[in-house]
Amino acid sequence: MKKSSYFISTRIDDFVLYYNLVNDTLLQLPVDRNEGCIECLQNPNNTMSIYWPKLYEDKFIIEDDYDELKEIQRRHWKTVNSADELNLTVISTLHCNSDCTYCYQRNLGFEYSEMTEADFDGLYTFLLGVPQKKIHINWYGGEPLLAKEQILKFCAKADKDKRHTYSYSISTNASVYDEKFFRMMERYGMTNVTVSVVGAGEVHDALRPSTEYDSDRVIKNIISMTRYTSVVVNLNLCKSNIESIKEIFEELSGYRHSSLSFSFSRIVSYAHRPCAEIELDVDTYMKRVIELANWALDHQFRISDMSCFQNFGVYCGVYAKNNYVVGPALYLYQCERSYNPSDSFAQIANGALVYHLNRTDCAGTELCLDPYQVDECRACKLLPYCNGGCDYLRKIGKNACPPEKDYLEEYLKLYYRIFYEKR
């Protein structure tokens, strides 16, 4: 017998949590029992220990020939090749009604900046023939609500396709609200909306200049949206808004028992749109996020799980075969950070996928990075947690590791609070 190589533990008040990253088992025990548990893990052949049966059952203690790396690799490839559902991110338009100072889509010359009516029709014709029964579309931009009429028209048509079941989500800045749009989208199978928010009042105006809307409008629209769907408010954090971001919680405090939840992301500076002067370093960002999330939970707000605990073997959809981004002119991309036809791997034409020369789908493995072939990842104890991290960042020469890499114990506490704490 041997001890699992992939688990973490942390203490909350008077108990200790153990989480097995390979098998997603969570063990909770009183703090005065922890010493015995540690002793058992150090002597995995001591089957007489009272801790042994549970540690064995939850795979913290495993057979000598149990290959954990092989197990997580199997889980990874199962998801990569899963054919159950088709997941699309559709960039309906790259136009936006804000001029965010930190936007990673700024300063990029787009060859095609929005989907035409023929593109929407072409996408629908293609989807009619896909073998998956379930299709999920995340409407993305630019600001997708600028194309709300076209989106609604598409969804109305798709609603008549009896071979497939469609569901939808939307990533928006909440500057646009249209009662009819949300009412109809609810009917067509909208599951949730993610709203990126930077702050209130002048903080909003400085980071997200727009002649068309202000933060009061955003808050009002978020509240209206909660009547029709779950809304995740994603707080984009940087040096300019970190001190005042609690104002957003306060403005939405009357809705904490609705379908509203919060998540966090870090504003990052890119070469094509540098904003290093406002970027929070990863450590500061992580410490503040952990503090904010705990504060929000203490005040009865809902926090969306931001961790990779309970994952399906991939860091994000980029790795999965039936998951891609559709852009204007129906070019297909692996990741939502690519917008140039020269970076696309295929195009939809006449209702079919046409792969570009020398590019294949994941079955041919050329497009998908195999994190199990990256030496640094193979040797890393977090591999079953992050499954190789962000492929886009790795490709542009940045650190692919998840920001919480050095804060996993704190993340485990949050995970426990989000899912198990009675409130």
- Asked whether the beta carbons of 166 and 159 are under 8 A apart, the reply is yes
Structure tokens given for 332: 């297909």
Binding range to ligand SF4, per CB under 6 A, among 48-56, 63-71, 213-221, 372-380 = 372-380
Binding range to ligand SF4, per CB under 6 A, among 129-137, 181-189, 241-249, 389-397 = 389-397
**383 touches ligand SF4 by CB under 6 A:** yes
**376 touches ligand SF4 by CB under 6 A:** yes
Number of residues that bind ligand SF4 (CB under 6 A): 20
**One symbol per residue from 93 to 112: x for binding ligand SF4 (CB under 6 A), - otherwise; what is it?**
--------------------
Residues between 319 and 358 with contacts to ligand SF4, criterion CB under 6 A:
335-337
CB of 383 to ligand SF4, least distance (A): 4
Total residues belonging to the chain: 423
- Asked whether the beta carbons of 193 and 140 are under 8 A apart, the reply is no
Task: Give the one residue of 248, 306, 380, 412 binding ligand SF4; rule: CB under 6 A.
Answer: 380
Looking at the Cβ atoms of 367 and 400, the one nearer to ligand SF4 is 400
CB neighbours of 179 closer than 8 A, spacing ≥ 6? Answer: 224
CB of 195 to ligand SF4, least distance (A): 18
Looking at the Cβ atoms of 12 and 374, the one nearer to ligand SF4 is 374
**One symbol per residue from 123 to 152: x for binding ligand SF4 (CB under 6 A), - otherwise; what is it?**
------------------------------
Binding range to ligand SF4, per CB under 6 A, among 53-61, 74-82, 219-227, 383-391 = 383-391
Whole-number Å distance between alpha carbons of 327 and 111: 11
Looking at the Cβ atoms of 200 and 383, the one nearer to ligand SF4 is 383
Helix ranges, 237-339 (H): 246-251, 282-298
Structure tokens given for 214: 């202000």
Residues between 262 and 321 with contacts to ligand SF4, criterion CB under 6 A:
316, 318
Looking at the Cβ atoms of 18 and 315, the one nearer to ligand SF4 is 315
- Asked whether the beta carbons of 231 and 222 are under 8 A apart, the reply is yes
Task: Give the one residue of 198, 268, 377, 408 binding ligand SF4; rule: CB under 6 A.
Answer: 377
Amino acid at position 129, single letter: G
Q: Which of 188, 149, 150 is nearest to 169 (CA)?
A: 188
**369 touches ligand SF4 by CB under 6 A:** no
**413 touches ligand SF4 by CB under 6 A:** no
Looking at the Cβ atoms of 251 and 279, the one nearer to ligand SF4 is 279
Locus of tokens 């542009």: 396
Whole-number Å distance between alpha carbons of 281 and 288: 11
Q: Radius of gyration of the chain from Cα atoms?
A: 23
Q: Centre a 10 Å sphere on the Cβ of residue 117 and count the other Cβ atoms it contains.
A: 10
CB of 399 to ligand SF4, least distance (A): 8
Task: Give the one residue of 386, 408, 412, 414 binding ligand SF4; rule: CB under 6 A.
Answer: 386
- DSSP β-bridge partners for residue 135: 86, 166
Task: Give the one residue of 389, 407, 408, 413 binding ligand SF4; rule: CB under 6 A.
Answer: 389
Locus of tokens 């939307």: 170
315 phi and psi angles, rounded to 5 deg: -75, -40
Whole-number Å distance between alpha carbons of 122 and 348: 7
Q: Which residues of 304-317 are buried (b: 16+ CB within 10 A; e: fewer)?
A: bebbbbebebbbbb
Q: Which of 281, 209, 282, 291 is nearest to 246 (CA)?
A: 291
Task: Give the one residue of 170, 225, 282, 390 binding ligand SF4; rule: CB under 6 A.
Answer: 390
Summarize as ranges the residues that interact with ligand SF4 (CB under 6 A). Answer: 316, 318, 335-337, 376-377, 380, 382-383, 386, 388-393, 400-401, 405
